[in-house]
Amino acid sequence: MSKRLPGKVALVTGAGQGVGRGIAIALAKEGASVAIVGRTLEKCQAVAKEIQELGSEAIAVQCDVGERSQVQAAISATVARLGGLDILVNNAQSAVQRPLLDITDDDVETCIRSGALATFFAMQLAHPHLVAMGGGSIVNLGSQTAIRGNRTFGAYAMAKEAIRGLSRVAAREWGPDGIRVNVVVPSATSPAAEAFREANPERFQRQLNQIPLRRMGDPEADIGRAVAALVSDDMSYVTGETIMLTGGGD
């Protein structure tokens, strides 16, 4: 079968582990060259090596996505080393869990800067490069916890719902530039999910029982492949949407 993304260049933030890693590998398997961007260079290098062993091109870039200058450097490195930018996936996000009355200004700053602001920085800085390639696709990550309004996720929910609002505006403003902007909301295994399962096996099982498919998504097979399809020409008429990748869960 022919690959969906031959010759495309993608940048994925938070790609050193979990869902970000799964998305990066899925994009590479569809033919894209991928910039693996994250705070821990060693993790990014390990994922880049995985992709290279698959026969695809990948680079590792260390970056704190909450700092505009570092996001600019990561995008510039991607364009210089991989030849352009067609796909941007904003996956990185720090989380803080506390009841609303215990949330501090620093908690909110952490979530907003690593999530909503980081996404804004990357989108704004990537725009001219996407236009230069004749258009492109941006995928931002939302969260079930924000859509549901889960307890203790107030600061995180603020950031994630800001990202969804930003994405809808960008889809309208940048559609004439040939740029599609969508949000995916994943329910998938991750280091945090694995730690929760180990610490709270009964609660974890109860959560699984609420998912119609009775399992968490696989970062590559379920989330990554869906993102690869979304950024491909197969879904070229989809923009401004929130795609729920949650196994049928609310």
Q: Is the domain covering 9-186+219-244 a CATH 3.40.47.10 domain? A: no
**Alpha carbon 246 to its chain's center:** 15
pLDDT of residue 96: 95
Given the residues 120, 121, 156, 174, select the one marked as catalytic. Answer: 156
Quick: pLDDT tens for 83-105. Answer: 999 999 999 999 999 999 999 99
d(CA 159, CA 48): 28
pLDDT at 71: 98
Model confidence pLDDT, tens digit, residues 190-205: 777 788 778 888 888 8
Task: Mark residue 213 as left, alpha or beta (left: phi above 0; alpha: psi -120 to 50; beta: remaining).
Answer: alpha
Sign of CA dihedral 245, 24, 204, 109: negative
Give, to the nearest 10 degrees, the angle between helix 154-174 and helix 118-132: 20
Q: What is the mean pLDDT of each run of 10 residues along the chain (250 residues)?
A: 93 97 98 98 98 98 98 98 98 96 98 98 98 98 95 97 98 98 93 80 84 90 98 98 91
Q: What are the structure tokens assigned to 22, written together?
A: 């799964």
Please report where in the chains the tokens 């961007």 appear, as a residue. Answer: 37
156 is catalytic: yes
Model confidence pTM above 0.85:
yes
pLDDT of residue 190: 77
Question: Strands, E, within 55-121: which ranges?
Answer: 58-62, 87-90
Name the burial class of residue 203, with classes exposed (0-12), middle (13-18) and buried (19+) by CB atoms within 10 angstroms of its CB: exposed
Strand order in the sheet with 58-62: 58-62, 33-38, 9-13, 87-90, 136-141, 179-186, 242-245
